[in-house]
Structure 1
Amino acid sequence: MADTISSDRRSKIMSHIKSKDTSIEMMVRRRLFAMGYRYRVNYKALPGKPDIVFTKKKIAIFIHGCYWHGHDCGSRYAHTSQSNRAYWGPKIERTKQRDQEHIQKLEANGWKVIVLWECEIKNHLELTIADLIEKIEN
């Protein structure tokens, strides 16, 4: 299926997509903060700049959008691009590969890595937070 929007317009739309402080990140961060947890955000000293970091506990949390990180969950958030597949397919595959590289580096240095997905957060926020708290505390 061809894109119905001009390439200039598509470029403008894509340039406004946030890479940090996204709505799903903010949902998790607000909930953790309200529960008394303090953390670092987009910690540049670690591979992949984790979205949330508990430095003393050595816990790194990544909050991934299903589309951008290639989550094969079948949710409406994980649709595949119908236009310009030659571009988006390899781009998302490289993102998945890079995510794995960052996780391996962190784990090799003794960090506990937690990945939260957009579909989990949007569909089951309370369960996701409860599970996250359990992982942080153990």
Structure 2
Amino acid sequence: MSEVRPLPIFPPVWVEGRDALLREAKASLNLPFKILPSPAAAAGPARVLAFGAVPDFMCEFVYIRPENVDRLESVRGALEACLTAPSTHPGVVTEERWLSAVMGAEVRLVAIEPLVKEPTPAPSVRFY
């Protein structure tokens, strides 16, 4: 188990006892990697685990309701979704869902194509 994955946490204020709760939840999942909790930030490296507060920046996250932030079962389920679930999982709040809630209308993200296209290479010429 040498792989270490970042685990962005929101809000970034660390609550005493949360590390033990996360450690116990992670151990019960039996995943083949370690996690490294760190404060969440915009454009972070991974899906955010949100303890009782919705991130105030656009990101993909898994939300734990305030009344459940100290319950092992809730933290375990959220941690599992955060680390292993696809974006289509109902517990994962995608950037589209977050933006839709903020803007009050359905939002769809589309891929952005580069403004400058790479030049088409000239056909190779062969001299005999």
**Normalized against structure 1, the TM-score is what?**
0.36
Which protein has the bigger strand share? 2
Higher fraction of helix: 1
| Higher RCO by CA contacts (8 Å cutoff, separation 6 or greater) | 1
Q: TM-score, normalised by structure 2?
A: 0.38
Structure with higher Rg: it is 2
